[in-house]
Structure 1
Amino acid sequence: MKRKSLLLSALLLLSPSAMAADLGWNGGDSGSIYSPVPASGWSGFYAGISAGYGWGNVLRKPTAGGAETSNGTSGFVLGGQLGYNLDLGGMVISTEADLQGSNLGYEEAIPGIGTFKTGMDYFGTLRGRAGMSFGQVMPYLTAGFAAGRGTASVTSPANVVTSQSANHLGWTVGLGMEAMATQNITFKAEYLYVDLGTQSYAGLPVGNSDITQRFSVIRGGVNYKF
């Protein structure tokens, strides 16, 4: 009876250790069934939301010729993104599209005319991403096309508003880092430089103007991977 009791005690002591070894929790080899991030952990479609802050400058030049002026712009951005990741086992390549609402702009008082204001109402990008996965963290570089809708307006001393809008096309480049919170949820921080080129705005009390929009954006976001 005493021998059976000793044998049962030994089995009970060994069982948890054997189970842990089988699951790779005791520093098992690379063939264990447990892995915090599988090789294909980043692959799949995803969608999410993001928000941040932008700053830059706007160049304004009379269309008929004359001196060019430069003014600083700033404002907040809020929007969403969707994309697809392909995990190649260490390297991750992606395609991502995003659309951001914005109050990025500036205004100035022009004597005898009123208050001139210009900025971006919204902008979006279509970019490629290339990153390296280090477990649950992926730093990446990104670049692609950018487009946006800008508005320029003049508010007269009598509070009469004259405004014109135009579509801008350009490019963007940046970098970021994304981290897995779970297999489906990731968080990201990103910097983008956006050059939306020059467009003409006609019919304003300040005269027809060629306006160039360039700015930087820092934003954070959360994605859900399907």
Structure 2
Amino acid sequence: MKSVLVSGALLGAMVAAPAMAADLAKPQSYPVKAQVAAPAPVFSWTGFYIGANAGYAWGSGKGAADYYGVSPDGWFGGGQVGYNYQFQNNMLVGVEADLQGSDISGSANNVNSKLDYFGTVRARLGYAYDRFLPYVTGGLAYGKNTINDFGYSDSNTHVGWTVGGGLEYAITNNWTARAEYLYVDLGKKTYDNIGDAGIAASTARVGVNYKF
């Protein structure tokens, strides 16, 4: 009887062995770590750009123009070109030059003043929040002004200063849009028909740029 039981146990072991070997041969399944998506590249403001702008100005005459009560205002439009450099800490420095044709004019007491064109050459300092760029700016301003007084006309090219700030947003990697305020003081020059006169004005503008 014992021999029969031993024989049966040996036979069962022989039958089960191939099955166990087959199970051991199967590759074990282990959890696979999910792949981490690469982070989107951070936008950089560094580079040259060119663009266009349009806006409105309101101000006052200086010197004799102020004495006669002349307060010019009106629309303007033009273009700009510049370069930005963004540091690793997101601080930004840049330089920009712009030129606008204008219809900024005013009349009082038979005296008319009209700013034919004006422009600026400015430094910019900002801090980039990825695609948002708030900044301050300031530098040189210039423009040609014409004054008519009782039929007599004289023109002068003024050189003064400007200061202001703005907010720019990168719509795509190449196109940006901005809103900007500048105070422009063109000082005074001597006009043959009225004496020392000039213009100072606040300007608000919007613009677009293409960054290379």
Residues 89-140 of structure 1 show CA distances to partners (whole Å, capped at 9, x for unaligned) of 21110000000111112012x4xxxx32112111110000000000110000
Residue 33 of structure 1 deviates from its aligned partner by 4.2
Matched letter for residue 175 of structure 2: I
Corresponding position of 2:3: none
Residue 210 of structure 1 deviates from its aligned partner by 1.1
C-alpha contact 1:46 1:83 (8 A) present in aligned 2: yes
Corresponding position of 2:166: 176
Counterpart Cα distance in 2 of 1:61 and 1:34: 59
Matched letter for residue 130 of structure 1: L
Seq. identity, %: 41
C-alpha contact 1:59 1:69 (8 A) present in aligned 2: no
2:33 aligned with 1:34: no
C-alpha contact 1:119 1:150 (8 A) present in aligned 2: yes
Counterpart Cα distance in 2 of 1:68 and 1:179: 42
Corresponding position of 1:142: 137
Counterpart Cα distance in 1 of 2:136 and 2:152: 41
Query: How do 1:54-73 and structure 2 match up within 5 A?
Result: 54-61=57-64, 68-73=67-72
Query: How do 1:1-226 and structure 2 match up within 5 A?
Result: 18=34, 21-23=35-37, 32-35=38-41, 37-38=42-43, 41-61=44-64, 68-89=67-88, 90-108=90-108, 110=109, 115-154=110-149, 161-202=151-192, 204=193, 208-226=194-212
Counterpart Cα distance in 2 of 1:51 and 1:141: 19
What's the TM-score once normalised by structure 1's chain length? 0.74
Residues 73-101 of structure 1 show CA distances to partners (whole Å, capped at 9, x for unaligned) of 21011000000000102111000000011
C-alpha contact 2:68 2:111 (8 A) present in aligned 1: no
Residues 154-182 of structure 1 show CA distances to partners (whole Å, capped at 9, x for unaligned) of 4x6xxxx5321101010000000000000
C-alpha contact 1:75 1:105 (8 A) present in aligned 2: yes
Matched letter for residue 61 of structure 2: V
Counterpart Cα distance in 2 of 1:166 and 1:216: 20
Aligned with 2:36: secondary structure? helix
C-alpha contact 2:134 2:168 (8 A) present in aligned 1: yes
What's the TM-score once normalised by structure 2's chain length? 0.79
Unaligned runs of 5+ in 1: 1-13, 24-31
Q: Which has the larger radius of gyration?
A: 2
